[in-house]
Amino acid sequence: MTTSMTANPALPESAVKAVARRTKQRLTSRGATIAALVIAVLWTVPTVGLFITSIRPEVETQRSGWWEIFINPTVTLENYEAVLFGRDSLLGPFFNSIAISIPATVFPLVIASLAGYAFAWMKFKGRDVIFVLVFALQIVPIQMALVPLLSLFSRGITVGDGVLYEGLRNAGQFSQVWIAHTIFALPLAIFLLHNFISEIPSDVIEAARVDGASHGQIFFRIVLPLSMPAIASFAIFQFLWVWNDLLVALIFANGAAAPITRALAELTGEFGQNAELLPAGAFISILVPLIVFFALQRYFVRGLLAGSTKG
């Protein structure tokens, strides 16, 4: 295990690209190309089906499969109108999702980059043990933390007659969700950012230290700018996770604070009744992540690698 890990030195990106360009002209085997095409089509068809279903009139959807749009093209925006402005409008939950996702992305990133720096470049007793513990926390099932956290938020902590912590009852509609998401994101965020930050050449850090820079300066002037790619990519990641989350929303975001995933899940619960709204609703909920993903996918991939290929 250890040997194979050291035997995987990261090649400079330019060299990899040059090699890739050279070999690109070589013919890849036909069978492999066909297999890849089949997988690609299989992976795309369900999403395309949903999109087509969402723009077909309800009568048509009930009468025939979505693929018949190619025989009998009928297109309408009624479904979207109903979803956005109808009785069970998803517009409110949509904005709730934005209001939940953005702060829940910023908070863990800032906290984790501070902690990641300390784990990577400050020496203290038990550092490795604590770091492994933090990593291990990543695998604690979130469900396990939900009950106690919920009671902590709603009841606070009292010792005898004295209130140690008054809880978050009435403390704004989103505060519980923000805090919950922040906490649950931290282990992975610290792990990934630490990996990236510790890859910064130690010469750079040492040189700054010799020049008399303090840890605060090193963090602000060197580490933060250099690890921007990793931070940006994890930000995208975290945004998608929070946006797509249902579990935390189900427990912590009630009523008026419900994000779009929860609103959709509740629509799916009422069988038959709002069924025609589902495709359009689902597509609206997918839209933002898809835009984020397509616009920023370059960073996305880079960030995945920052933590993962190092093992």
Binding of other proteins by 61 (CB under 8 A): yes
| Residues 27-56 interacting with other proteins (rule: CB under 8 A) | 28-29, 32-33, 35-36, 39-40, 43-47, 49-50, 53
The amino acid sitting at 8 is N
When binding is defined by CB under 8 A, the residue of 59, 64, 72, 204 that contacts other proteins is: 64
Q: With b meaning 16 or more CB within 10 Å and e meaning fewer, what string describes 233-261?
A: bbbbbbbbbbbbbeebbbbbbeeebbbbb
Reading the block at residue 280, the tokens are 């359009």
The amino acid sitting at 1 is M
Give the Cβ contact number of residue 276 at 10 Å.
21
Task: Specify the 3-state DSSP secondary structure of 174.
Answer: coil
When binding is defined by CB under 8 A, the residue of 72, 89, 154, 308 that contacts other proteins is: 308
Binding of other proteins by 226 (CB under 8 A): no
Piece of 21-29, 70-78, 80-88, 225-233 that binds other proteins (CB under 8 A): 21-29
Binding of other proteins by 163 (CB under 8 A): yes
Smallest separation (angstroms) from other proteins to the CB of 226: 16
Binding of other proteins by 71 (CB under 8 A): no
When binding is defined by CB under 8 A, the residue of 79, 177, 178, 230 that contacts other proteins is: 178
Smallest separation (angstroms) from other proteins to the CB of 87: 19
| Contact (Cβ atoms closer than 8 angstroms) between residue 111 and residue 204 | no
Binding of other proteins by 215 (CB under 8 A): yes
Task: Specify the 3-state DSSP secondary structure of 88.
Answer: coil
Alpha carbon distances (Å) from 143 to 9, 146, 250, 251, 267: 38, 5, 11, 10, 23
When binding is defined by CB under 8 A, the residue of 14, 20, 71, 211 that contacts other proteins is: 20
